[in-house]
């Protein structure tokens, strides 16, 4: 007779209770309810499945948008996951400070045998900075030998929007392994004003992390840090229920500097 895995069940229940406490998923669900036909741009989409804030809402709602991923083999997985959804445009490019091409760094595709011992975020750490990739040596000791340098197409955020004739973005998500602040300060937030903006602060230096948050607050956003990300919401959005104003994070925002050595 099979013995019930009471420990596993208990851990699963604890994890689900913890996830229900998180502010970010509650905010995103409320946003999806308020804007069932939202237009989104996701910069650094990976394959659109791993650790992705938006997947459930893209699949379950009538959301339209653009998903941007520069790493070629990861982009192919993104294409398999979303290529049949005509509401979503896929862009194999990096968002940078100029149009053209830029060198991009990422860990090369692992073998099937290697996958079992590599972190599940292994191929989500591509970056415009080689240093940002090799900084994961603590978790991937041979990362330096794995790094691939490839010239990829680059677009500014403004060029991306012009290419796809975007005149309104409801939700902007940025996850670019340390390049987030560069993209944020390139935005014209007086004119391009997403209702909700999410960026990853985890890989930012302490100074850039403070500067990014201050920049968004100066532009009139309310900000909330939780885990790896910062959530920025336009104040006075009457479409969202009042209980979602002033949410408090269930866990503090963390950065790479907070990791134990």
Q: Which residue has the tokens 């994961």?
A: 136
227 within domain boundaries? yes
- For the chain, give the percent of residues with pLDDT over 90: 70
By residue range, what is the domain housing residue 239?
A: 23-258
Average pLDDT over residues 120-128: 92
Domain CATH for 123: 3.40.50.150
For residue 177, pLDDT over 60 is answered with yes
133 within domain boundaries? yes
Domain count, the chain: 1
Average pLDDT over residues 29-41: 94
8 within domain boundaries? no
Average pLDDT over residues 104-132: 91
How large is the greatest C-alpha to C-alpha distance in the chain, in angstroms? 65
194 within domain boundaries? yes
DSSP the chain: -PPP-HHHHHHHHHHHHHHHH-HHHHHHHHHHHH-TT-EEEEES-TTSSTT-SSHHHHHHS--EEEEE---HHHHHHHHHHHTT-TTEEEE-SEE-SSSEEEEEEEEPPPPHHHHTTS-TTGGG--BS-HHHHHGGGGT-TTHHHHEEEEEEEEE-HHHHHHHTT----SEEEE--TT-HHHHHTTS-TTTS--SEEEEE-TTS-HHHHHHHHHHHHHTT-EEEEEBTEEEEE-TT-TTS-GGGTT---SS-B--GGGS--
For residue 19, pLDDT over 70 is answered with no
For residue 18, pLDDT over 80 is answered with no
Res 235: pLDDT: 81
16 within domain boundaries? no
Q: Which residue has the tokens 């991937």?
A: 140
pTM of the model: 0.88
9 within domain boundaries? no
13 within domain boundaries? no
- Mapped onto helix, strand or coil, the DSSP state of residue 191 is coil
3 within domain boundaries? no
Q: Are 65 and 39 in contact (CB under 8 A)?
A: yes
For residue 13, pLDDT over 50 is answered with no
């Amino acid at each position: 007779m099979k013995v019930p895995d009471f420990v596993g069940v208990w851990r699963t229940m604890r994890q689900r209770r913890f996830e229900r406490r998180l502010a970010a998923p509650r905010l995103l669900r409320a946003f999806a309810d308020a804007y069932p036909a939202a237009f989104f741009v996701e910069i650094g989409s990976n394959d659109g499945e791993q650790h992705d804030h938006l997947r459930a809402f893209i699949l379950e709602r009538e959301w339209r948008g653009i998903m941007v991923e520069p790493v070629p083999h990861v982009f192919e997985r993104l294409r398999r996951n979303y290529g049949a959804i005509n509401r979503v445009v896929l862009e194999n490019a990096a968002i940078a400070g100029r149009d053209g091409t830029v060198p991009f760094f990422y860990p090369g595709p692992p073998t099937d045998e290697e996958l079992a011992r590599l972190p599940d975020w292994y191929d989500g750490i591509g970056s415009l900075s080689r240093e940002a990739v090799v900084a994961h040596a603590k978790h991937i000791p041979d990362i330096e030998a794995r790094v691939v340098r490839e010239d990829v197409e680059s677009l500014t955020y403004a060029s991306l929007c012009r290419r796809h004739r975007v005149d309104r973005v409801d939700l902007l998500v940025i996850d670019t392994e340390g390049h987030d602040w560069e993209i944020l300060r390139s935005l014209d937030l007086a004119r391009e004003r997403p209702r909700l903006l999410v960026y990853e602060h985890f890989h930012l230096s302490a100074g850039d992390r403070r500067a990014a948050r201050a920049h968004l607050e100066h532009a009139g956003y309310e900000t909330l840090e939780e885990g790896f990300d910062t959530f920025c919401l336009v104040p006075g959005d009457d479409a969202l229920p009042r209980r979602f104003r002033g949410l408090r994070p269930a866990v503090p925002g963390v950065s790479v500097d907070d990791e134990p050595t």
